[in-house]
Amino acid sequence: MPHTELLFIFFVIAFVYASVGFGGGSSYLAVLALFAFPFKEMRLIALICNIIVVTGGTIVFVKNGQVAWKRILPLAIASVPMAFVGALMKLSQTTFFVILGCSLIVAAILLWIKTKSKQDAVIFYQNNYWKDALIGGGIGFLSGMVGIGGGIFLSPLLNLMKWDEPKKIAATASVFILVNSISGIFGQLISLPSGINFTMIALLCIAVFVGGQAGSRIGAIKFNPLTIRRVTAVLVFFAGIETLIKHLH
């Protein structure tokens, strides 16, 4: 696949995901999987790109006072070490792609589900630190193992639970993606494969940085978030199916 096409696709993914508060890790992996990118590098690339895209959004959320640190802590404290452990998992190529394909399909379903708008939302959820820690730890482990930040699972789940108002859930997902991605990278640095194309990684980082900045500033204004989520859900779903078909035989 020509590098220019891959760079453009990563730019578009970052733009779209930044516009709805995600990092795009699942779609980066889907693209890299569909075009036979070396699988041992895929997780590293996806996590680095995640960090670049969500860092700006996280800073904005913090400045606007939308980050509920006390509520995020149980999620983060459990997820960070589990993401590290997940990243240490030595998976065969087939196992990795089967887990990835299943994860993409689940992510697509969660993205498709429509939650109530802010005006209709009623907060019923009461703080349950053990339950939050269990959710954070489970998603963190999967995130580290597959190479995503986990926000694509966490955000829809918290919305369904009526965990908090949508803006605070978006802020929580942004912080969650950031800390999980950093933890996952540290886990992978212990056993990096040889022959990594750092030049290509740098170019992809530039592409997602530009796309993420543009998406966070323009995308949310120009596009309907639900439409973006559902279009993304369809693409991620078919990428998951295609990944499973290729590696289940």
Express each pLDDT in 152-211 by its tens digit: 888 888 888 888 887 788 888 889 999 999 998 988 888 777 778 888 889 999 999 999
Our count of domains for the chain comes to 1
Does residue 249 carry a pLDDT above 70? no
The Cα–Cα gap between 27 and 9 comes to 10
**Confidence (pTM):** 0.83
CB 32 within 8 A of CB 46: yes
User: DSSP string of the chain?
Assistant: --HHHHHHHHHHHHHHHHHTT---HHHHHHHHHHTT--HHHHHHHHHHHHHHHHHHHHHHHHHTT---HHHHHHHHHHHHHHHHHHHH----HHHHHHHHHHHHHHHHHHHHSPPPPTTT----PPP-HHHHHHHHHHHHHHHHHHT--SHHHHHHHHHHTT-S-HHHHHHHHHHHHHHHHHHHHHHHHTTPPSS--HHHHHHHHHHHHHHHHHIIIIIHHHS-HHHHHHHHHHHHHHHHHHHHHHH--
pLDDT digits (tens, 9 = 90+) for 3-17: 788 999 999 988 887
Cα separation, 45 vs 38, in Å, equals 11
Q: Which domain holds residue 52?
A: 3-247
Which residue would you say has higher pLDDT here, 223 or 110?
110
Q: Which pLDDT score is estimated for 233?
A: 81
Which whole number is the average pLDDT over 219-246? 75
Tokens encoding 65: 């006072």
Phi/psi-derived region of residue 78, left when phi > 0, alpha when psi is between -120 and 50, beta in every other case: alpha
Nearest to 85 by CA among 33, 139, 41: 139
